A and B are shown apart, each in its own frame.
Chain A
């Protein structure tokens, strides 16, 4: 039941031609996946799924759809040849993969799956063998880098939007040095701040 819901919503998300409806179907598919996690009794992952995917990524996608185009405009129809070839490729790949899964005899254990949030947390910050402290730090640095990168990319085009296309490209050319200047300025600020704090500590 849940699986049929997920697959139907996912299929509709990938085949409908209105981009806004596609985003809404994707939302339903992600909610269905969260329901699947609930059914598997992994409530923590289900909560993370709802918070990050349904609450974050889908909202971001819908915002970007609103920013980039009119929602009632239909996307152009795909050429039939591309649809046929990709469908054939998909069916072939699915058949091959599922044949492998079907042939392989999995031996599920009968022990019950025991997890608690405190267990997850203590193993995530464990520096001993089997701990995940290093990936945790790496991911935190990655998130910081992504945030800074987003800000830099968004700053390139400048705050004011000129009306014509040619002017805009010129404008973006001009504003790159400004962005770099801003970054350098920030760096200087930080350096001076560090010097200040170092001076006070000494």
Chain B
């Protein structure tokens, strides 16, 4: 079970991070950019859990960080979606290119 070396799991999380980064670069739709951010946060979570399990198994700090990151990600997604829906009401689109003005 733990015969899988640490760097292989780090490979997965790094690849996931850069997939999310690719989505963040190429997409111009706000909801898909939000999904890319979720992927990035998940790759960071994998890193925390794996480092905690493999390198410092007698501590629990990585698990706490993962719990706090998940909480903050949930709050961030809720606020972002509220902003997106409000923006859609006033602009009729959710492209970032059309959202250059931030006051009305």
Contacts and interface: CB of A to CB of B under 8 A. Distances in A.
Please say whether chains A and B are actual partners in one complex: yes
A35 B30 CA distance: 28
B22 A86 contact: yes
Contact of A23 (B35, B76, B81): B35
Which A-B residue pairs are the 9 nearest by beta carbons?
A: A14-B23, A86-B25, A146-B75, A113-B57, A153-B82, A108-B54, A3-B12, A150-B82, A94-B18
Interface string B56-77: 1110100110111011111111
Interface string A160-184: 0100010011001100000000000
A64 B35 CA distance: 12
Interface in A112-133: 112-115, 119-120, 123-124, 132
A30 B104 contact: no
> Which of A41, A53, A57 is most buried by chain B, counting CB atoms within 10 A of its CB?
A57
Interface of A: 3, 6-7, 10-11, 13-14, 19, 22-23, 26, 29-30, 33, 36-37, 39-42, 44-45, 48-49, 52-53, 56-57, 60-61, 63-65, 67-69, 75, 78, 82-83, 86-87, 89-90, 93-94, 97-98, 101-102, 106-109, 111-115, 119-120, 123-124, 132, 135, 139, 142-143, 146-147, 149-150, 153-154, 156-157, 161, 165, 168-169, 172-173
Nearest to A165: B92
A119 B36 CA distance: 33
A195 to B, nearest CB: 32
B102 interface: no
Contacts of A111: 57-58
Contacts of A83: 26
Interface size class of B (residues with CB under 8 A): 35 or more
Interface of B: 1-2, 5-12, 14-16, 18-23, 25-29, 31-32, 34-36, 38-39, 42, 45-46, 49-50, 52-58, 60, 63-64, 66-68, 70-79, 81-86, 88-90, 92, 94, 104
Contacts of B22: 14, 86-87, 90
A61 B7 contact: no
A42 B53 contact: yes
Contacts of A61: 31, 34-35, 77, 81
17 contacts: A6-B16, A14-B35, A30-B38, A36-B46, A49-B70, A53-B73, A61-B81, A64-B85, A78-B27, A86-B25, A108-B5, A119-B60, A123-B60, A123-B64, A135-B64, A147-B78, A154-B82
A36 B1 CA distance: 12
Contacts of A120: 60, 63-64
A109 B30 CA distance: 43
A139 B68 contact: yes
A57 B74 contact: yes
B104 A109 contact: no
A82 B34 contact: no
